[in-house]
Structure 1
């Protein structure tokens, strides 16, 4: 009954497609145009990826912090390390540059040498006032040397804020308008205004200006993603088309395949726009991914069409058999691939969920495109020539299949020994895998902006903000001397951590106030005593709040404070060790019954998000395995066959994980995709092999050996073709400048290559070794659905075809 249903259903589908060719073409064009209108809704992400769910406690703290203090990552820094900066010509050029930057509407404020102010004490009335550090215009060489000496030796308040304590490096801080930090206006400012201006001054005055800060880094990183989308698309099309042409030696077949996958890419962009998703480093790889995954569909369909043409030369019969015989197989393989991606939907991470939704939808859409477009285009074309069919008889392919058969027939023990060695070695490697939650690790390390990041790490101990968020639980609690002393002690602890920079907080201003009270003597740069506080307080009250450079470090009620430090590009393990060391000291300094203290900031959020994803990796991969096992159970109705089919697909995943451990490739948001993607794709080969194996069992009266070798010969060529296309297709990602994308491409390629060998060597070996357990009709009874129609249906199909010519 299921056989008749399968044949009847797919034969009806074939008639429907071939009888309504023009209508289907117009429908596809209509959908393509409709989705193309949605491209305008595509937007590139201008924020760092938040991998945690919105309701996660760590995110809740972060949102509360932003509510009190606003956007934290709005600082761009430019620096010059030049011993001749304090000479008239260079100093004047640096001053003009900073004055120019201050005129941009996107910049709220520029803290630089040109507008630097120092705190001075005045009497009658008693007050502090901020006065210009540089007096007058065009200071001479002698004045500039005095300014240099005062800056580096008498103004500890500006240490690591305006100058580096390690060298003569001077920096300016651009505070970007918080309204545009996460918008496209930031990109326009950075790329079209800031960068050209800095390049002009670099060229004219040989200043060697370095630039960094999260808004700048994010902008250039986003632009790299945009640039790489087109590069990936062209590279994927070029590589897959060349391989396709090498196999088929047919320009016509190659062009038809490229047209099909290009429509799939257009649909992918349309779906992203339709759903109003942002293009992130993950969704950016979906269009080239569509090309890589779509080509194997084209290979199966075109290869079958050419086989049928070679067999009987009847185009109508060939096209109908392409749909009826390959349709079900490609449907199942695409469903399993889509399932691998769909498991990401169930994670609570918005980034991964959106990736899973778009990828799984477009893989199924791509299957429908291939099934419709390829037979329809071929139906309007003449029959393939003899030269186009020569690839079906290539000797080297026959030699490869012969080698596989020889290995399975005579060297099964060798296959098992190699498999066990690989498994044991991989387990050792898995124990060496590390987790990385670095915001910067995947960025292009050869890029100029990445070199600038290293410069600022060396001079200023980092550029990624880490925030200590303090709730004193009472209004004006921050300015109490006891609280300030606790904050100062915590800052001293932070300053001793090599990976963290000198902290910034309101403590600096209070210490600077005491120094100013004692006429600027740097030895008094310290917190006042309670008695001194009484003397100094009248002077502080006279200050305007707008003059307070660190007013953003205390909220308007005086209840909440922040301590900002900047972190070097360190991995998750180091960050966790730092946290582990800090928390006991934080809890000791700030008793929980009187203070609420939290660590937050973009760098910490990203690191915590990575850990969260790793925990979900096991869940998503287990779910993928479970879903595919359900599909296998539904198709084969055999528990033992499920176990046998999973072994050759799980071993490559373990081998890849072991490689990651030995090669030092960490688990991170980019590489975390490898396992679910590879498993979803590699299981396709298993489905094809076992489907053909079951057919051969029935045709050969349940003789295991004969059936295994026949299935190996029949499916080996197609599996080799598709695996090679997938291998080189995913290898395209290795040309990326992003480390994570390179790792993703290399690891998926390696996994799929291992999976091909496992399915062509280990799977048939297992079937032969366990023949007594599985060689009966009860274990391999009629499946719920028919994967590939058997030859016994040919007469029935032929009768239908003769009655139903398109």
Structure 2
């Protein structure tokens, strides 16, 4: 105890010597430090990459990159083209050709597919020899456009892919070049990260991880800039044709670009609006310019120092952590309000007190409660680090560091500034906020029973609502309905086969391959006795689709024998398995366009007018033109690893879409009905990554809230040395956090990456108010041991500061309604609602519980 008192004495002496006695030196030093930090903000960057939107150390990302490289299936952009004239008219086709050619010339575009250049296979049906000799497209002279339209609407290849069911809208697919260097750098970095997580890296490996991470970050930044530039170029091209057609753009890189644009806009608009409101509140409440300038200086210095530091070390804000700026402003603002209100109270009590003593007394009174308030809020944000979601983790760390910086600056900037500025006269000028807050205390005194019943009802409704809470989100719902991105995604989703991709990777069963190869080697060659032209006669009927191949016939010399298929998946057995699963996928209401080797299998069946055997399949494959192979086979088959891919798009606007259930339904069918073994079936794609993140949200919500409640209760027990006080303080905030989660469940707002942080924020900030109230109540109670009078005095003093900060928080977060990003709007409104519930609970339920349980003793 003696050591603690001595430490307190030395700290008090050091603080007075540094801040109170040398305010000019301290203020000058902080200004210089802030300017240095501000220069770093020129390097400020935002991040909306895959790393910022997925789970940390999610092995699914590495698998997706592996598959993308193996099948050379990179990112893509999709345009919807709805001409004003008939889509098959010369005018519309010519416009589409001009648009197609311009898009094909954009740097980074590997290929462009549209209805004018895809091979026509059913308009009319032709033999393979004819197909190989010349590929017909919509631009081929003399083509029957009515027949082409029917092919686009009904063929297994193009149905739900190129033309909308009403025949008015066509899709243009821009396949972007696969960035193999990006994939290799990311996989190398992730492998080292995973090793570092599971075991200790050597010094050389640690250096390698640091080097690779830095190089990848630079490369990713450059790549993101190129992607954004490409999107803008495509938009510029599209703009030239908007007078002739309605054209919307979609795709992952376009979503990323728009999200960054929205974040930047929110930072500027929300930040400026919040600052303006803070100025108004300070001027309205205190009516003295010093109490406007000093709190704003502390807030702006905190944000500038943090943003500058983050920029210097290149720690980037994401969709989630972009809210860190607004939250830090509000948190620091709350601390300044508490300090200013206490200073004005002491000044009014003793106007003749020396300024240095007045400032020191203010610091003594407010340092401990503000310290514990900051600490409890830090605990709330530190809990987010457990989420496993990279942007949520970053958000938690940024807020933790920011609160430490903000707390220090409040107790340096305000006291130093008050020492520099003239003391002035104590002023109140008819502030009626005390009368308002005392009404709440009277409500607790005379209507406490009703408060308890309302609180109990809120708990019941919250539990009911939380039971309905879901984590399913749709990309299209992230954007306002009148935005280009929403309109484009909606058209693609509803009319052109869905938006979110899911790949099913099938590995051949090793035992099946071995048996097939052995059987093929041992069996007698069925064509050994057949020579020359007899091969064709024996193998095919009179409508032989290969009859016109002539000298190109690989079997015409009579010496070729049938061999085992190069891939199990291009055999009858393999294709039958694929076709069965493919057919099942097409039957699912959530699934749009499905593409696999089943498509070329159906084509072969149609050309041959019947089922083919393995030999005929091999002949067919060898006779297909390279264009058709690139379109129908190569994206779905890798021979050397005996692997095939089924790719599908999910219709996100499907009512009651459950991603996890959809994946499990497909897996169960593949294992029980499709004849696959568990080790053969793998899932990847954006749907898998996004679903992993969504499923983690609910689990992390429970775990983080539990950690917050337990940690804060322990801290309250240390501060007040009473379990009863800790319980009373945390209960209103548990109800507030539960109320907002319950309300989300009742009105159908799902958890997402932004709303999942609300509960922790509410508890952290709400307990901050509870600590301030309890600390003041204990002081007031010590004067006369009267609980009721202590409650009224507490409401008239610290209750005013709670009222000021709560109004600022509620109105401040409501400003996010100005955002173009729907999750930001939800985040702002729900946080404002939760903080309103928290302050009402702190001014009604909290004092009622104190009056009931009497935690400070029996009283009078």
Same fold at TM > 0.5? yes
Conservation of the 8 A alpha-carbon contact between 2:476 and 2:490:
no
Corresponding position of 2:240 = 200
The range that moved more, 175-184 or 605-614, is 175-184
Give the CA deviation at 1:624: 1.3
Q: Residue 43 of structure 1: SS of its match in structure 2?
A: coil
Give the CA deviation at 1:185: 0.6
1:102 to 2:104 alignment: yes
Corresponding position of 1:775 = 857
1:609 to 2:693 alignment: yes
Correspondences of 1:339-418 after superposition (within 5 Å): 339-385=379-425, 389-391=427-429, 393-394=430-431, 396-418=432-454
Corresponding position of 1:270 = 308
Correspondences of 1:35-114 after superposition (within 5 Å): 35-48=37-50, 53-56=55-58, 58-59=60-61, 61-70=63-72, 72-80=74-82, 84-114=86-116
Corresponding position of 2:534 = none
Corresponding position of 2:739 = 655
Q: Residue 84 of structure 1: SS of its match in structure 2?
A: coil
Question: Which of 481, 484, 494 is equivalent to 2:572?
Answer: 481
Corresponding position of 1:509 = 600
CA–CA distance in structure 2, aligned partners of residues 165 and 573 of structure 1: 22
Corresponding position of 1:171 = 171
CA–CA distance in structure 2, aligned partners of residues 493 and 30 of structure 1: 67
1:128 to 2:219 alignment: no
CA–CA distance in structure 2, aligned partners of residues 70 and 20 of structure 1: 65
Corresponding position of 2:258 = 220
Structure 1: runs of 5 or more not aligned: 519-523, 778-806
Deviations 1:520-556 (A, max 9, x none): xxxx5x863446436534424x747974455222236
Question: Which of 714, 727, 730 is equivalent to 1:630?
Answer: 714
Give the CA deviation at 1:609: 1.1
Q: Residue 631 of structure 1: SS of its match in structure 2?
A: helix
Give the CA deviation at 1:650: 1.1
Conservation of the 8 A alpha-carbon contact between 1:10 and 1:327:
no
Give the CA deviation at 1:510: 3.9
Give the CA deviation at 1:753: 1.5
Corresponding position of 1:564 = 647
Corresponding position of 2:849 = 766
Give the CA deviation at 1:134: 4.1
Corresponding position of 1:800 = none
Correspondences of 1:197-346 after superposition (within 5 Å): 197-203=237-243, 206-310=244-348, 311-313=350-352, 314-346=354-386
* Distance change (3 Å), C-alpha of 1:270 and 1:528: farther
Deviations 1:340-392 (A, max 9, x none): 11111233221211111111111111111222222222322223456xx224x
Q: Residue 736 of structure 2: SS of its match in structure 1?
A: helix
Give the CA deviation at 1:635: 1.0
Conservation of the 8 A alpha-carbon contact between 1:73 and 1:465:
no
Give the CA deviation at 1:99: 0.6
CA–CA distance in structure 1, aligned partners of residues 690 and 840 of structure 2: 37
Conservation of the 8 A alpha-carbon contact between 2:259 and 2:319:
no
1:585 to 2:669 alignment: yes
Give the CA deviation at 1:566: 0.9
Corresponding position of 2:487 = 451
Conservation of the 8 A alpha-carbon contact between 1:486 and 1:589:
no
* Distance change (3 Å), C-alpha of 1:631 and 1:247: same
Q: Residue 648 of structure 2: SS of its match in structure 1?
A: strand
The range that moved more, 743-752 or 212-221, is 212-221
Give the CA deviation at 1:776: 6.7
Deviations 1:268-302 (A, max 9, x none): 32243244333321111111222222211221222
The range that moved more, 349-358 or 545-554, is 545-554
Conservation of the 8 A alpha-carbon contact between 1:344 and 1:620:
yes
1:733 to 2:816 alignment: yes
Corresponding position of 1:434 = 470
CA–CA distance in structure 1, aligned partners of residues 147 and 315 of structure 2: 52
Conservation of the 8 A alpha-carbon contact between 1:10 and 1:323:
no
* Distance change (3 Å), C-alpha of 1:272 and 1:71: farther
Give the CA deviation at 1:692: 1.8
Conservation of the 8 A alpha-carbon contact between 2:60 and 2:688:
no
Deviations 1:112-139 (A, max 9, x none): 2343334697788x98356241456xx6
Deviations 1:158-193 (A, max 9, x none): 2233223453422221111233896221111112x1
Q: CA RMSD in A?
A: 3.0
The range that moved more, 542-551 or 638-647, is 542-551
1:553 to 2:636 alignment: yes
Conservation of the 8 A alpha-carbon contact between 2:80 and 2:491:
no
CA–CA distance in structure 2, aligned partners of residues 385 and 130 of structure 1: 94
Give the CA deviation at 1:770: 1.7
Give the CA deviation at 1:632: 1.0
Give the CA deviation at 1:436: 1.8
Conservation of the 8 A alpha-carbon contact between 2:164 and 2:496:
yes
The range that moved more, 290-299 or 274-283, is 274-283
Give the CA deviation at 1:649: 1.6
1:152 to 2:152 alignment: yes
CA–CA distance in structure 2, aligned partners of residues 412 and 60 of structure 1: 58
Q: Residue 591 of structure 2: SS of its match in structure 1?
A: coil
CA–CA distance in structure 2, aligned partners of residues 226 and 528 of structure 1: 58
1:720 to 2:761 alignment: no
CA–CA distance in structure 1, aligned partners of residues 439 and 408 of structure 2: 35
Conservation of the 8 A alpha-carbon contact between 1:262 and 1:291:
yes
Give the CA deviation at 1:12: 3.5
Conservation of the 8 A alpha-carbon contact between 1:465 and 1:601:
yes
The range that moved more, 643-652 or 706-715, is 706-715
CA–CA distance in structure 2, aligned partners of residues 130 and 550 of structure 1: 19
Structure 2: runs of 5 or more not aligned: 183-219, 511-565
CA–CA distance in structure 1, aligned partners of residues 133 and 143 of structure 2: 22
Corresponding position of 1:471 = 507
Deviations 1:738-786 (A, max 9, x none): 2222222122212211211222222221122122x65079xxxxxxxxx
Conservation of the 8 A alpha-carbon contact between 1:473 and 1:594:
no
Give the CA deviation at 1:52: 5.2
CA–CA distance in structure 2, aligned partners of residues 335 and 186 of structure 1: 42
CA–CA distance in structure 2, aligned partners of residues 44 and 679 of structure 1: 28
The range that moved more, 33-42 or 555-564, is 33-42
